[in-house]
Amino acid sequence: MCRTGAGREHCAALRAVLLSAGEDSGMDERRGRQAGVWLTLLLGALVLLNYVDRGALGIAAPKLKHELDLTPYAFGLAVSAFAWIYAPAQFAVGWLADRFCVYRLIAAGLALWALATLLTGFVSGLAMLVALRVILGVGEGVAFPAASKIIARHVAPEHRGIANGTVAAALAWGPALGTFAGGLLLASVGWRAIFWVFGGVTLLWLVPWLIASRPHWSDRASRAGDSVPVRTVMREPTPWLLGIGHFCNTYGFFFLLAWLPLYLVEARGLSIGTMTGMATAVYLVQGAGALLWGWGSDALVRRGWPEGRLRKGLLSFYQLSLAAAIVGAALATSTATLFGWLLLAGAVGGIGGANSYALAQIYAGPRAAGSWVGILNGVGNCSGIVGPILTGWLVGRHGGDFHVAFYASAGIVGFGALWWWLALPPVEPVAAAVEPGIPSAAAVE
């Protein structure tokens, strides 16, 4: 990754991010430098694997749906089962990330979701598929509250965009890698191999993580005494407002992640090979865009732009653009036009993955970032419960026609553009989240 020109620039930016932030725990500079780089890169790999495994069901859908004899509604039910526990678990995981060792929490969660992915290759019916999707949701729930906890602890405000952009790029490249590899497996050896290969590869991540994180299992920042009481965070209205905006953000993303392969093959009549290439290209563009949007927003912050207003504006721009792209894709009359609209969705998609978490990190500060992102993700990922069932019902009701489902998705995403800009209070650290003895920073709006 660091050998190409773009890769070298990105790795250099990552190192600048991590070295500028310092270490809350008072570790010496050399230890902090080495730990920061490796842990951040491994968190990027964690999120990449998270979305490889999460999107596996959508990739397998063209063959899995027929072999298991699933109706559109039943398939939507299986997709949504992931979020039945993933969304509410975010509240608990955020609290755990602020009070206990976040490094061990991540390892346990990944091991659980990797096993659930692997076992999905053995399912024989809807009930078993739903049960394993629920277990997958429990395991994957650790990723974003834990990653935000670490970013809030180590990253300075002027580098917050590239740090979260790294996670957002992994969030997009996970589906890209999963779609490409899964599509090849689907076409050559069938859908079950997708889950066996993806689950096994994910388990291998534990080896470097345990090596890199083990020295930090007793860090001061991981101890309960340094966290903000969860009841204090729950009484704050702002994380709930962020969660509503994130619901609109994730609704559009999950709609495309879960339904795009099936839509391209069944509704548009594309081959599995063409579907794989098209969807992979969209996610590659989204990942590259996440890094560029993160780098660009940091550059503007360093030039004196108000960070809060900038990140809110980017989120509103993103959701308006995504809503337009979803409508455009539904109305496209040719494969080339459809691909163009999907590329637009990918080009702006990286904004949503980075800036919603960055706003939560600004409000929360290092001590409460896990709990705040837990609420943000908990409310936001309810779209993963509502969206697949609603989409499956709409597609089934209209005889396999996806148009109404596309319009519903665009409407929810477009509402989010207004919400980010109008509903949030001034973006500044909340007093309860600031380190003891350090006054709250001035507003960054």
Query: Total structural domains in the chain?
Result: 1
Q: Is the pLDDT of residue 363 over 70?
A: yes
Domain containing residue 224: CATH number = 1.20.1250.20
What's the pLDDT band for 439 if we cut at 50, 70, 90?
Answer: very low
Nearest Cα neighbor of 406 from 259, 286, 245 is 259
CA pair distance 420, 334, nearest whole angstrom:
34
* Domain-located, residue 29: no
pTM of the predicted model, to two decimals? 0.69
Q: Cα dist. 189→64, 196, 273 in Å?
A: 13, 12, 14
Each residue's pLDDT tens digit, 407-433: 999 999 999 999 999 998 888 877 555
Domain contains 243: yes
% pLDDT > 90, the chain: 18
For residue 308, the enclosing domain spans: 34-433
Q: Per mean pLDDT, which range of 46-50, 175-179, 226-230, 431-435 is the poorest? A: 431-435
Which of 52-56, 64-68, 352-356 is predicted with the least confidence, judged by mean pLDDT?
A: 352-356
Does position 34 have pLDDT exceeding 60, yes or no?
A: no
Domain contains 235: yes
CA atoms of 99 and 106, how far apart (whole Å): 14
> pLDDT tens-digit profile of 241-278?
999 999 998 898 778 777 777 788 888 888 878 887 88
In a domain, 1, yes or no: no
Q: In sequence order, what DSSP letters do the residues of 335-367 get, joined into one string?
A: HHHHHHHHHHHHHHHHHHHHHHHHHHHHHH-TT
Rounded CA separation 131/244 (Å): 27
**Complete DSSP assignment for 80-138:** HHHHHHHHHHHHHHHHHHHHS-HHHHHHHHHHHHHHHHHHHTT--SHHHHHHHHHHHHH
Residues 6+ apart with CB under 8 A from 429: 362, 363, 364, 365, 440, 441
The answer to whether residue 13 is domain-embedded is: no
Query: Which phi and psi (to 5°) does residue 112 adopt?
Result: -65, -45
162: in domain: yes
Query: Highest mean pLDDT range out of 40-54, 87-101, 106-120, 267-281?
Result: 106-120
Residue 18 lies in a domain: no
- Report if residue 232 sits inside a domain: yes
pLDDT at 101: 80
